[in-house]
Amino acid sequence: MLGLMVSSVSETVGAKLNGTEKPTPPESETLLVIDLSRGFSDAPTLSPANTPGIFSGGTQGAYGLLDTLQALETAAGDDNIAGVLLIGGSFSGGNGLASTSELHGALTGFRTASGKPVFAYLPSPSYKDYLLSTAADEIWLHPFSELPINGLSSTGLYFKNLLENIGVGVQITRVGSHKSAVEPLISDQMSPEDREQRTRLINTLWGLSIQRIFTARAEKLASDEEKTRLAEDFTQAVTTQGYVPAQEAVEKKFVDAALYEDEMIERLKDVAGTDETTHSFRQISLDDYLRVQEISVEPPIIFGNGVPAPEELEALTPSLAVVYAEGEIVDGVGATNEVGGAWFARALRELRNDDSVKAVVLRINSPGGSAFASEQIRREAELLAAKKTFVVSMGDIAASGGYWISTPAKKVFAEPSTITGSIGVFGVIFNLENFGKQIGVNSEAVLSAPFAEIDTLRRPKTPQEMALIQKSTDRIYADFLKFVADARGMSVDEVDAVAQGQVWDGLSAKNNKLIDEFGGLVNAIDFAKKAANLDDDAPIFSVPGAVNRYQELVDRFSNAPVPVASAKAAELALCGNNPALHTAVKNLRRTAQRLRAFNDPNHVYARIPFEIEF
């Protein structure tokens, strides 16, 4: 059982964060409404929406994954909650298959534990909408919509010609036959090795997702003949259509009905009754339910906020901390959507020295990044693990540097569809010699020693300089192998055989001894509580939290990063409701973030080479 994130000052903090008093608790026969268009992030829900229901307008940032899991667990035992409604609408929060599967399991668990129904209404669904909605008792499409079942893809963008055209030179070092993260900078096409591992991975993830769909939908069918027909129709639709019209999806049993919104509302009035004010069914949004139950409220005692009052310490003793490492691993403090090595190392250090914290769960959703920053975090995690229970929960992706920081854990949990491994390193060194020539700038230098200019951008590295950087890359790879070998009880040769930059799904990772157990964040928390002898209802708090994310580390870090929400608002203003523009902006932003994340002081990185797109 999960302990709710509450303290003696939670109501005050909730009012401060939300700008309003706590919402009215749900009446009897109320549906809990979850807006899938918000998406879900590993980090806690920040800035909850103030609207009373999904049909009264207004959206905010993504829901926190753990907050949502706790809300479903609480709602299962809440006599006033009659069921759950999922509202689809391009489930675009960046979730991968692993977190989607974890939510799917929580919805299935809600139905099983409570006997209450789950409904899903998908006006214009994405594939992830549909995948998650198969946990529902009934799935309803809008009659004018189509069901997307067109598969997964992994696309590579290659900048070799662009960089040459603008005069930017790139030199690289790398270790690992499959460490292809540098290919976009030095090639104009996908290598055979990268194509092989991408193909293996997306085929495995696609198989896991359609297996979940078949299992869920087959439960509604009475005969083996109907179940066989379902699989045949689905396979045919994937290979010949990609998008299935709503009525055809009903006929083929992919969904249960095609309903206009007014028809959906009338059906749900039979379940939840009528709200006389809105003339809709009785409902409470997930945001309001989180606040009513005091689930998403952060205790205000995170780092840098001064010494907490005695009653606050008492309310959080003993407790468990969930640390969210979500985003690129970068040197320094990092922005809100990055894992800054200096910031997270400090956070783990303070947790280690806080006697009220008995266990720490590190939730990793990161493709990796700076090797130096990864080692900063790993070292502090190692010291923390020597003093108290330290457990890792891998989310959608925990690869390369994301795997590096997991190595000190007592136990590592991952989903079968988690992307992990990619144990390998590479170096990237840019130079602007040709760019300078194009704009009429020349440069020269005098040196006091042969390698005094090894960090320059004005020219390419000499063979001797590249040999030194390659030697450093080899050393860091050897250290990486040793960390993994010591943590997993394997020899360095055994680790090297499954390393070489190879990317694995969770199933393969477990077979290769890279993880311990299948399970999500809740499983990791439950294990950590038992290992630390904590009560089931022991308080949980999150790091980074809503209050502390912009806390300065030292005076020289005086500029707070731009909040992700502001960037999303700017994107919305630019792109409106045009999906193609949103996709283009997202790809440009992702590329810019990746280039900005190349800030390792030694120019060496541990990062996965690609991403999977639903």
The C-alpha atoms of residue 13 and residue 294 are separated, in whole angstroms, by 10
The C-alpha atoms of residue 330 and residue 214 are separated, in whole angstroms, by 40
The C-alpha atoms of residue 318 and residue 490 are separated, in whole angstroms, by 35
DSSP code for 155:
-
CA distances from 420 to 408, 413, 501 (A): 16, 11, 10
List, in order, residues 6 or more apart from 448 with CB less than 8 Å away: none
List, in order, residues 6 or more apart from 471 with CB less than 8 Å away: none
The count of other CB atoms within 10 Å of the CB of residue 194 is 22
Q: Given the DSSP bridges, would you call strands 368-370 and 419-421 parallel, antiparallel or unpaired? A: unpaired
47 is catalytic: no
179 is catalytic: yes
Inter-residue contact 343 to 373 (CB < 8 Å)? no
End-to-end CA distance of the chain: 32
The active-site residue, picked from 179, 252, 358, 510, is 179
135: enclosing H helix or E strand: none
The C-alpha atoms of residue 227 and residue 499 are separated, in whole angstroms, by 40
Inter-residue contact 396 to 418 (CB < 8 Å)? yes
Strand, helix or coil at 480? helix
Tokens 């009012």 belong to 15
The active-site residue, picked from 356, 400, 417, 508, is 400
537: phi > 0 → left, psi -120 to 50 → alpha, else beta; which? Answer: alpha
The C-alpha atoms of residue 336 and residue 452 are separated, in whole angstroms, by 35
CA distances from 261 to 136, 245, 252, 278, 294 (A): 18, 17, 22, 15, 31
Q: Which residues pair with residue 323 across a beta bridge?
A: 362, 543
Inter-residue contact 329 to 578 (CB < 8 Å)? no
CA distances from 86 to 72, 232, 293, 434, 553 (A): 12, 27, 20, 54, 40
State the virtual CA torsion across 91, 565, 347, 412 in degrees, nearest 10. 10
- Which residues participate in catalysis according to the annotation? 179, 400
